[in-house]
Amino acid sequence: MTVLTGSDGDLIYGTARVGKVRDWTLNINRDALEDTCVGEYNRTFITGLRNTTGSCTIYYDPSNNTAVKLLNTIFDDAATPQDVSFVFNRSETGSRFRCNILFTGITESVDTGAAQAVSCTFQVSGEIDGRF
């Protein structure tokens, strides 16, 4: 049995690896829209819109211009969603999600003797390409 671990995760921006992903989450929610008709005694629902948010913590090299460019989009008042891929596993058949994101928060922290890590929260714009 193959078990996926976070040790093989990457964040890809365009075609470049931005950094090593320590952890990441995608929260995919879908609205349930009531479509009950008058005179019925049980509520019925249909599917509505999806909304996806997420977070990630990445290790990155501050001299990597691609990583810095992506992270700096939080400062751009006219920022458009950025095309990124979250990779579970770097093998050819590895699972990955590709989506357009807008950063909603970035927290940078450095511990003594530890790698430089950035915690990010984001909003996905549009659909997600990928499946479990």
C-alpha–C-alpha distance, residues 5 and 11, integer Å:
15
Q: What are the tens digits of pLDDT across the range 71-95?
A: 999 999 988 999 998 877 666 566 7
Quick one: pLDDT band at residue 4, thresholds 50, 70, 90?
A: low
What is the pLDDT, as a whole number, of residue 20?
A: 82
**What CATH class is the domain 9-129?**
mainly beta
Average model confidence (pLDDT) for the chain? 85
C-alpha–C-alpha distance, residues 29 and 35, integer Å:
19
Supply angle C-alpha 5, 8, 10, rounded to 5. Answer: 125
Q: What is the CA radius of gyration of the chain?
A: 18
Instruction: Please report, rounded to a whole number, the percentage of residues in the chain having pLDDT higher than 90.
Output: 43
Are the C-beta atoms of 15 and 61 separated by less than 8 Å?
Answer: no
What is the pLDDT, as a whole number, of residue 18?
A: 84
Q: What is the pTM of this model?
A: 0.81
Per the model's pLDDT, the better-predicted residue between 95 and 128 turns out to be: 128
Are the C-beta atoms of 56 and 21 separated by less than 8 Å?
Answer: yes
- Alpha helices by DSSP H, listed for the chain, are 65-71
